[in-house]
Amino acid sequence: MSKFVREINGEELKNLIASGKTVVCDFWASWCGPCRMLAPVMDEVASELSSRAEFVKVDIDQNEEVAMALGVMSIPDVYVFQEGKVKAHNLGFVPKAVLKAFIENNI
């Protein structure tokens, strides 16, 4: 885990979203190959954009309730929250340039 992306639970995510902060959340699971491939990409992007948003990860196996409430059906799924609401999400593994552009366009 990088110093720019921290793993949190569903309750912590709810609190972050409710705070109105800009949050980038990677919904993932340890058994998911594409999720493991996305992790270092997310770390790199977070290191470059950490001043503009809070970067977190939520394991859907340990936090099923929050994943279901947000409509996370497949993983990896990167959500951007702003002002307490979902602004956008990007499903699946993508290369760094694509992920960075998605995040920059939504934070």
Whether pLDDT at 16 is above 70? yes
pLDDT band (50, 70, 90) for residue 3: confident
pLDDT, tens only, 29-41: 999 999 999 999 9
pLDDT of amino acid 98? 97
Whether pLDDT at 104 is above 90? yes
3-state secondary structure of 30: coil
- The whole-model pTM stands at 0.95
Mean pLDDT in residue range 87-105: 97
Mean pLDDT in residue range 49-76: 95
Q: Is 25 a catalytic residue?
A: no
Kindly give, in sequence order, each residue whose CB lies less than 8 Å from that of residue 42, ignoring residues fewer than 6 positions away. Answer: 5, 26, 55, 57, 78, 99
DSSP code for 102: H
Instruction: Give backbone dihedrals phi and psi of 57, rounded to 5 degrees, phi first.
Output: -130, 145
Distance CA 86, CA 49 (A): 19
Kindly give, in sequence order, each residue whose CB lies less than 8 Å from that of residue 56, ignoring residues fewer than 6 positions away. Answer: 5, 6, 7, 8, 12, 13, 16, 23, 24, 25, 26
Beta bridge partners of 27: 58, 77
Q: Is 35 a catalytic residue?
A: yes
Whether pLDDT at 52 is above 60? yes
Which is the catalytic residue, given 8, 13, 23, 35? 35
Distance CA 83, CA 65 (A): 21
**Mean pLDDT score across all residues of the chain:** 95
Hey, which CATH number is domain 5-106, 3.30.160.20, 1.20.1730.10, 3.40.30.10, 3.20.20.140?
A: 3.40.30.10
pLDDT of amino acid 105? 97
pLDDT of amino acid 2? 73
Whether pLDDT at 96 is above 80? yes
Which is the catalytic residue, given 32, 38, 42, 103? 32
